[in-house]
A = this chain, B = another copy of it.
Amino acid sequence: MSTFGNHFRVTTYGESHCLSVGCIVDGCPPGMELTEDDIQPQMTRRRPGQSKITTPRDEKDRVQIQSGTELGITLGTPIGLRVMNENQRPKDYGNSTMDKYPRPSHADWTYLEKYGVKASSGGGRSSARETIGRVAAGAIAEKYLRLAYGVEIVAFVSSIGSEFLCPPTSKHPSNTTNPEYLQLLDSINRETVDSFLPVRCPNTDAAKRMEALVSEFRDREDSIGGTVTCVIRNAPSGLGEPCFDKLEASLAHAMLSIPATKGFEIGSGFAGTRIPGSIHNDPFVRNRADDTLPLPVQEPLVETPLSQSSTPGRTARPKLTTKTNNSGGIQGGISNGAPIYFSVAFKPPATIGQAQQTASYGLEEGILEAKGRHDPCVVPRAVPIVETMAALVIMDAVMAQLGRGAARDLLPEIKGREVLRGLPMPTESEKNASVANGAVA
């Protein structure tokens, strides 16, 4: 099914050549200011043909709100979102080489196997165009998270081919023990990432090497993959459900639902399998920072005008935090308040200009040649999509936990419950703090 989320629920529709693409967002909190201007920036960031100088007046992929708001304020009812397809039917359908061959490593063949019919574009819903609906929905989630908690979600390109933003060293075989890398995760923002267009890798040297590599692949009509890393800052603790819906499981699900993804790792990830537990464990330390999270950022993450916001949602920080963060902000499937970070692997694009020996729908061997210009590397454009899916996961988890917390808060206090909190002899003030401290609730 084309639905994501249980509490903030997004349902998308549309393929490459139909009339429009879009989505319905159900469960958006009522009373939030929302117009198309909140949604358009990420739509524009995901469009093809991004370069350092994107014109803000670009009229393509304009999103239009159909319902769910009035006078620019969310009503709490489903928000319909729609973007017109400009190129609704391919001109030469049925006559081209591409119609004769299922494209290797594309969805053309499997869609036919699944449905018994195929869209003119081959794997209809597997098109990158399908992601438009998601990105629109994600922008709404992001706005809420920013207003309510000051959540910041920033993704960037961390490798293309064998060119890395932060290559493993003998001292730091895993990035996650490299202070420079951790410092980047703490401070990176979208403006900085976009200043490194077209590759969106926030390091001058690495960006140059990546640009050169992509050019090389473009020149020989080949393609190359890469990884996107994403950090989520200021997400409250307590997010994620035990057992099947651990927060990292939901993130992995979300990320592997993005076209062309092949892998996901949270925190120390695969490198973490090679670190001894005595180093990998993140010891607790008292959270000496303010007891409250900072007010949500006043400056917009991208160009969203947020200056009017005066947010009441100061949330108590957890009393404990961790000294290191190999866990990636999640322990036992539940967020602990530290930055959540993860990486996603993208394969090389399947559409290449080189001729490919393959077989036709009619089971005959032959040569497929894809005409036209093809993107040799999709990773930079994937950046806003990764952010989007992260926002949808966090938003859904936040709403799940808010309900639970609010339900618990209506219950009478139970005497002697301290022992269940690991506090053999609590003072009164400690006890109250510990309760107030209850994560999202």
Contacts and interface: CB of A to CB of B under 8 A. Distances in A.
A181 interface: no
Interface string A330-372: 1111111100000001111110101011111111010000000
B345 A265 contact: yes
Interface stretch (A44-52, A53-61, A186-194, A236-244): A236-244
A104 B282 contact: yes
Contact of A422 (B99, B107, B274): B99
List the 3 closest pairs (A to B, CB-CB), nearest first.
Answer: A107-B332, A403-B403, A223-B277
Contact of A106 (B113, B331, B424): B331
A3 B1 CA distance: 12
B335 A19 contact: no
Query: How many copies of this kind of chain does the complex include?
Result: 4
A109 B270 contact: no
A336 B430 contact: no
A428 to B, nearest CB: 14
A115 B30 contact: yes
Interface string A1-29: 11110110101111101111111101101
Interface stretch (A121-129, A202-210, A297-305): A121-129
Contacts of A411: 29, 31-32, 144, 147-148, 311-313
A320 B39 CA distance: 38
Given A262-B266, A430-B362, A109 B284 contact: yes
A67 B334 contact: no
B226 A362 contact: no
A432 to B, nearest CB: 12
Contacts of A241: 1-2
Contacts of A357: 283
